[in-house]
Amino acid sequence: MRGLLRAEWTKLRTVAGPWWLLLGLVAGTLAAGAAAVAAVDVGQCPAPDACHEDTARLALGGVRLGQVAAVVLGVLMLGGEHGTGLIGATLVVTPRRGRVLAAKALVLAGAVGAAGAAAVAGSLWVGRVVLPGNGFTPEHGYPALSLADGAVLRAAVGSVLYLVLVALLGLGAGAALRDTAGGVTAGLGVLLCAPVVGQVVSDPAWRERLEEVAPMPAGLAVQATVGLERLAVGPWAGLGVLACWAAGALALGGAVLLRRDV
């Protein structure tokens, strides 16, 4: 397994595309998060202490954009090899296909986890610097963002795990469809469909049920640090929902990889 992991890591680091996607994940998350915190000011609220803003979730909002790069990278890990025909050589060297998928998943999780950690740490730092200037100060009831705060730490760690899980979902989609464009469309469609549908569902009960089972709304619940009682699903339970989606995608992709010819 160690040799297989080394081979997958070599593939990842010697091709320009994955590095650009990892850079895009970090840059996109930081840029979108910075734009979100810069756009909010206590002057928009009835009183400085009446905004009821979840500043940690606001600072980490860029994860919604960064996840696109994570999904694309996950799809490319296997879908890209089908497109170039490299998968044939990979399976000749390692006929045990389950091990190939597992090695790709581990390397992908490590790379996205490292990039996600950098993006999340940078986003919280931007929030810590910008938000006080917009009136979100301890005097107004908004403590400075710090990983020493258990809720902020959970939101940060959960955001990194969220990015890893959506990348694994993309890997499963790429393995199942064996096509980069189809895998990206399927992966992003699964994530983005529920928020779009939620906008047109008028029944609050059905909207809440959708948020409980849809991967993106449920998974991002882990970012919440205030008003947890208003969530459709708890922070870690929501991340568990996303983990089930990722596991299902990998199981489907693994079944296709095992049963079909290259």
Residue whose C-alpha is closest to residue 25's, from 102, 118, 94: 118
Helix axes 150-177, 180-200, angle to 10 degrees: 130
Least confident of 23-37, 79-93, 171-185, 205-219: 79-93
What is the number of other CB atoms lying within 10 angstroms of the CB of residue 212?
Answer: 16
**pTM of the entire structure?**
0.90
182 exposure class (CB count in 10 Å sphere: 0-12, 13-18, 19+): middle
- The domain segmentation of the chain, as residue ranges, is 2-259
Residue 251: is its pLDDT beyond 80? yes
Please write the tens of the pLDDT for every residue from 46-71.
776 667 788 899 999 999 999 999 99
Residue of 162, 160, 175 lying closest to 76 (CA atoms): 175
50 phi, psi to nearest 5 deg? -115, 15
pLDDT for position 8: 65
pLDDT in tens, 67-99: 999 999 999 887 666 656 565 556 555 656 777
Give the closest residue to 133 by CA, choosing from 55, 56, 60, 41.
41
